[in-house]
Homo-oligomer: A and B are copies of this chain.
């Protein structure tokens, strides 16, 4: 496999995981898609587990797995109720996924992640921030919560102020936080600003 991943935080999280003495096992929440990030964990000798709520995204990942002769163990599932025992998985990764839920649901998901990690276990979780150009676009359904059109569907996005998400990290220590404001082009003319806040947290 010679794949380069667009989500470059994946590499940062992997280095943090490699740097512990915990069992090499990782769960990706929102694990599907054309280039499943679990592939690089697998290549680095990790036992992988994935869940995704979308069967389409799981099918896309399966195609990648077949092409690259991998079995990443991605199943359909819901982050709000993780099908894993307490303290059973050392590392949990969730990229550009959790903020498609309402804020009260996000709180529940992070409690679930806490439950499934052992002491010292690490999670990567990122949030869309209020720096994002879309952060007030669409139908407002709650504070910082918007329904936005994407490919003809209404998709929920929750946006977070700089430290807002940290209230969910009870029982965790934040060991890494990056507030990223990215400027780029949606097309040749349209300049846009994307905002994300990435966390790596350790269960304490």
Contacts and interface: CB of A to CB of B under 8 A. Distances in A.
Interface in A3-32: 4-6, 8-9, 11-12, 14-15, 18
Nearest to A198: B182
A146 to B, nearest CB: 23
A2 B44 contact: yes
Given A175-B184, A175-B185, A4 B8 contact: no
A8 B2 contact: no
A179 interface: yes
Interface residues of A, number: 25
Contact of A8 (B9, B43, B175, B184): B9
A140 interface: no
Interface string A168-186: 0000001111111111110
Nearest to A5: B11
Nearest to A199: B183
A184 B180 contact: no
Contacts of A6: 11-12, 15
A15 B14 CA distance: 19
Contacts of A174: 183
Contacts of A14: 4
A181 B2 CA distance: 30
Closest 6 CB pairs of A and B: A8-B8, A177-B183, A179-B181, A178-B182, A8-B11, A8-B12
